[in-house]
Homo-oligomer: A and B are copies of this chain.
Amino acid sequence: MSRKVTSQDVARAAGVSQSAVSRVFSGASASKNTQAKVRQAAADLGYRPNVLARSLITGQSKIIGLVVAYLDNQFYPDALQRFSNALHDLGYHILIFTAKTRGEGVDDLIGRLLDYQVDGIICASVGVSDELTSRVEAAGIPMLLFNRGQTGSPFAQVTSDNLSGSHKIAEYLVRGGHERFGHVAGWLGSSTGQQRAKGFNQGLEAHGAHLSGQRDGLYSREAAAQAARELVEQERCDALFVSNDHMAFAVLDELRVKVGVKVPEEVSVVGYDDVPMAAWASYDLTTYRQPSNRMVAAAVETMIKLIAGEVPETKEIEIPGALIERSTARWPKE
């Protein structure tokens, strides 16, 4: 409709030059007088600076690309919300891309992100191919992996203490007096999945126990439910560590309702993440908390530094979590 109002229009109305208008809105020096005139004229005309034009010249779009998968896992909408708030407070905005759950097509997504001259890219739980890695590096765009590591990757990463966390879970289950331990892993093609499996294993060994069975739950409800059933029925496990809460809920549904075993009397189940839903009375899931607030804060802080060209002291940030005792696993008797 009404043609766009430009800084030219404001300049004319205020009786100053276009540069003056620009200076007022970009916070550069300007006299009180000009400030007032320009602000007034801008308000009258309904002028707002065109961010796209601005970024063309400053080279800063103030846009962060966020690639996210697994939105059905409550951990991610929750993190998204936090990212959104934190970044908006810093004047950044989020261009969002949802990746297919298994990471194909990510390369294409990121190409499109680069087209938008994003100032940085955050990949939540999404891996990046080598080819893409070099393209992003060549473009000189900071990138950060969230809740996902990648060995040999040049990018920053923020995760929880997957290794020690699952170690502690193993310990907890051993102390709970269980006998046969099973693990419903996250997708073992992901570093996070691998780390948690490794930590759990090491934790068991460290306490003289061992794994009776492990299945890949692929971060999917169906696969996890199936895996749990097998571990209980075939391997006769009485303690299950499920690699994230999202799958753990499926496991609980399967065991309680379909298989018909009592949790935790017959089988203990421990998750990982402590998403809000884990505290809901119907599940009341014993789990390991990934502090998403602190993870997001760290990720944002790091990203801002990277954008500013600083080299953060440490590229791989690990936020410590904590075991949350609830009612799906037998409590150790002290």
Contact B2 A140 (CB under 8 A): yes
Contact B51 A116 (CB under 8 A): yes
Q: Could you say which interface size class chain A belongs to?
A: 35 or more
Within 118-151 of A, Cβ neighbours of B (below 8 Å) are at: 135, 137-140
- Chain B residues within an 8 Å CB radius of A93: 95, 97, 112, 116
Given A276-B72, A281-B258 in contact, is the A117-B252 Cβ separation under 8 Å?
A: no
Given A56-B53, A98-B85 in contact, is the A114-B283 Cβ separation under 8 Å?
A: no
Contact A46 B135 (CB under 8 A): yes
Alpha-carbon gap, A155 to B111, bound state (A)? 34
> Is A185 interfacial (CB-CB < 8 Å)?
no
> Is A23 interfacial (CB-CB < 8 Å)?
no
Contact A115 B49 (CB under 8 A): yes
- Chain B residues within an 8 Å CB radius of A66: 96
A190 to chain B, nearest CB (A): 19
Q: Of B46, B48, B98, B116, which is within 8 A of A52 by CB?
A: B116
Contact B78 A71 (CB under 8 A): yes
- Chain B residues within an 8 Å CB radius of A74: 72, 74
> Is A254 interfacial (CB-CB < 8 Å)?
yes
> Is A257 interfacial (CB-CB < 8 Å)?
yes
Copy total for this chain: 2
Alpha-carbon gap, A72 to B79, bound state (A)? 11
Q: Of B52, B76, B276, which is within 8 A of A117 by CB?
A: B52
- Chain B residues within an 8 Å CB radius of A2: 138-140
Alpha-carbon gap, A258 to B280, bound state (A)? 11
Q: Of B61, B111, B256, which is within 8 A of A48 by CB?
A: B111
Alpha-carbon gap, A95 to B66, bound state (A)? 10
Q: Which residue of B lies closest to A76 (CB)?
A: B77
Within 56-108 of A, Cβ neighbours of B (below 8 Å) are at: 56, 61, 63, 66, 71-72, 74, 76-78, 80-81, 84-85, 88, 93-98
> Is A55 interfacial (CB-CB < 8 Å)?
yes
Alpha-carbon gap, A71 to B73, bound state (A)? 12
- Chain B residues within an 8 Å CB radius of A276: 72
Contact B283 A257 (CB under 8 A): no
Given A50-B117, A52-B52, A72-B78 in contact, is the A95-B98 Cβ separation under 8 Å?
A: no
Alpha-carbon gap, A35 to B72, bound state (A)? 43
A220 to chain B, nearest CB (A): 12
> Is A28 interfacial (CB-CB < 8 Å)?
no
Alpha-carbon gap, A90 to B94, bound state (A)? 19
A256 to chain B, nearest CB (A): 7
> Is A1 interfacial (CB-CB < 8 Å)?
yes
> Is A314 interfacial (CB-CB < 8 Å)?
no
Contact A80 B94 (CB under 8 A): no
Given A140-B1, A282-B257 in contact, is the A48-B84 Cβ separation under 8 Å?
A: no
A44 to chain B, nearest CB (A): 12
What are 17 A-B contacts with C-beta separation under 8 Å? A2-B139, A2-B140, A51-B117, A52-B56, A71-B80, A72-B77, A72-B81, A74-B74, A76-B77, A81-B98, A84-B96, A84-B97, A84-B98, A88-B97, A96-B96, A250-B280, A282-B282
